[in-house]
Amino acid sequence: MNRLKTIMLLSTLTALLLWAGQAIGGKEGVWLALFVAAAMNIGAYWFAHKIVLRMHHAKEISHHESPELYAMVHSLAQRANLPMPKVYLIPEQAPNAFATGRNPEHGVVAVTEGLLRVLDRREVAAVIAHELGHIKNRDTLIMAIAATFAGALSMLANAALWSSMFGGGRPSEEEEGGGPLAGLLGVLLAPLAATLVQMSISRAREFMADEAAARYSGAPLALVSALRKIEAWSREIPIHSGSPATAHLYIHNPFSAEGVSRLFSTHPPTAERVARLEAMAFGRAYAA
């Protein structure tokens, strides 16, 4: 169901792009924005993991520096049929973790010092299994595709806004079925809708990684207790490095907000994740 949801959401982003491009700039606007956004996101796909690790002051650790953690990652990677990812330690006291890397052959698992301090061994293993699930499911690639479409929509909206400010416009608006109202709606609504869809894709991928973690670790209830601890501690100890732009990488959003901002959350509510994992643990169907 989560894979189907991801496909449907990506299709929605495609439809939004086509609609907004037709309304704002015609076919030429669609292709130009898509080309530029794709170029930007391809660059991010190849180099973003290095930038993110540097932003968080993460340090690669070897088997000799942390034999227990390294052995745990190696064992879980074998269960997931993945190459051994690089292991990084983040100098943050808030318990959290993320995965990055452009494909499974270049996977990276990064954990905070706080995660190793607050969680017990089974909980740490469940969190690492979740991150390996992201690597296995190629979530970095999926989110790069989603970002490409969302970026193209934002660029179309910005171009239309500047064009309207300086009196520009398409000479063939009436012939192509567009108009000022359609263009205005595209400027206002398309980027917002694209952001919401992008966040929905991220939330769907979190459910898939939770399911993978339950399989690889064999302990869905360990991930339940880990998520509860991480959520509780995140209210007490914030992440100081990084930025909200990296929130989707973490197992739990360290920059979460309340109220309307939840619409733009990169993660599903912890309570819903817990309910799904408990249903898996006790062999019952999850009732959405």
Q: Which amino acid is at 1?
A: M
For 60-86, the DSSP string reads: E--TTT-HHHHHHHHHHHHHTT-PPPE
Alpha carbon 16 to chain centroid, angstroms = 20
Provide the annotated active-site residues: 131
Q: Which amino acid is at 114?
A: G
Which segments of 218-281 does DSSP mark as H helices, in order?
Answer: 220-236, 270-281
Q: Which amino acid is at 52?
A: V
Q: Regarding beta strands 86-90 and 108-112, do their DSSP bridges make them parallel or antiparallel, or are they unpaired?
A: parallel
pLDDT of residue 174: 45
Tell me what the mean pLDDT of segment 252-279 comes to.
79
Strands lying side by side in the sheet with 97-100: 59-60, 86-90, 108-112, 97-100
Q: Residues near 140 by Cβ (< 8 Å), separated by ≥ 6?
A: 45, 48, 49, 99, 100, 101, 102, 103, 134
Long-range pairs for 277-280: beta carbons < 8 A, 24 or more residues apart: 277/210, 277/214, 277/220, 277/221, 277/223, 277/224, 277/227, 278/220, 278/221, 278/224, 280/211, 280/214, 280/220
Which segments of 87-219 does DSSP mark as H helices, in order?
Answer: 113-118, 121-136, 139-165, 173-176, 180-217
Tell me what the mean pLDDT of segment 54-68 comes to.
94
pLDDT of residue 283: 82
Q: What Å distances lie between residue 22 and 5, 107, 284, CA to CA?
A: 26, 39, 47
**170 within 8 A of 118, measured Cβ to Cβ:** no
Please state, for a pLDDT cut of 70, what percent of the chain lies above it: 77
- Flag the least confident range among 77-86, 120-129, 163-172: 163-172
Residue 74 CB coordination number (10 Å): 13
Q: What Å distances lie between residue 157 and 32, 161, 210, CA to CA?
A: 13, 6, 35
**124 within 8 A of 111, measured Cβ to Cβ:** yes
pLDDT of residue 2: 60
DSSP letter for 167, please. T
Q: pTM of the entire structure? A: 0.81
**138 within 8 A of 201, measured Cβ to Cβ:** no
Q: What is the pLDDT of residues 80-116, one digit of tens each?
A: 999 999 999 999 999 999 999 989 999 999 999 999 9
Q: Does pLDDT of 154 surpass 90?
A: no
- Flag the least confident range among 110-114, 170-174, 221-225: 170-174
Q: Which of 20, 39, 40, 38 is nearest to 30 (CA)?
A: 20
Alpha carbon 248 to chain centroid, angstroms = 4
Q: Does pLDDT of 269 surpass 80?
A: yes
